[in-house]
Amino acid sequence: MMEQLIQFETAKLAREKGFNYKTYNFTVNADYKKQVFLCFDMNRAAYPLEATDWNNFEKGGEKGNTSIPTQSQLQTWLREVHDIRICINFDYINASHFAYTYRIIYNILEGKGGKKYSWEFYEEINSLINQMTWYNKYEDCLEQALLKGLKLIR
């Protein structure tokens, strides 16, 4: 099973927000027609390219390229770099259907210097409560949560 890559619009926003993790996947902005360049197969045998920060042409990427991380890579970056935690929940509907919702929990910056306080000061965005939205697929729900999480970054 292959991990889900984020959508191009999400990748562009991640680039704008400073995403800088190395990835194996990228696209060229000028030529983007739903084409993602994969730099390895699942056995990492077909392509000799190394993981690169494609968003930063000074560190191996080329100008105009956009890194296309997996959903889990972007989720990790949001958590580790910006203290934005994404939780996917599901509700059982019947034997073959689930409804997925997300929660985004993030610190509120308080005080003059933007000093972070403890988790006593946090906000939560819940797709079901705030937007009355749920999703049929886990990956679709996570994609929307990632996009919403990116929009929280100032």
If pLDDT is split at 50, 70 and 90, which confidence band does 132 have? low
- Average pLDDT of 73-96? 90
**Residues 54, 74: Cα–Cα separation, whole Å:** 14
CA-closest candidate to residue 30, choices 64, 70, 5, 81: 64
Q: Kindly tell me if the per-residue pLDDT of 60 is higher than 60.
A: no
- Greatest Cα pair distance, the chain, in angstroms, is 52
Does 57 score more than 80 pLDDT? no
User: Which residues partner with 40 through β-bridges?
Assistant: none
Enter the pTM of the model.
0.78
Distance of alpha carbon 87 from alpha carbon 6, whole angstroms: 17
Which amino acid, one-letter code, is at 9?
A: E
Question: Using an 8 Å Cβ cutoff, are 20 and 29 in contact?
Answer: no
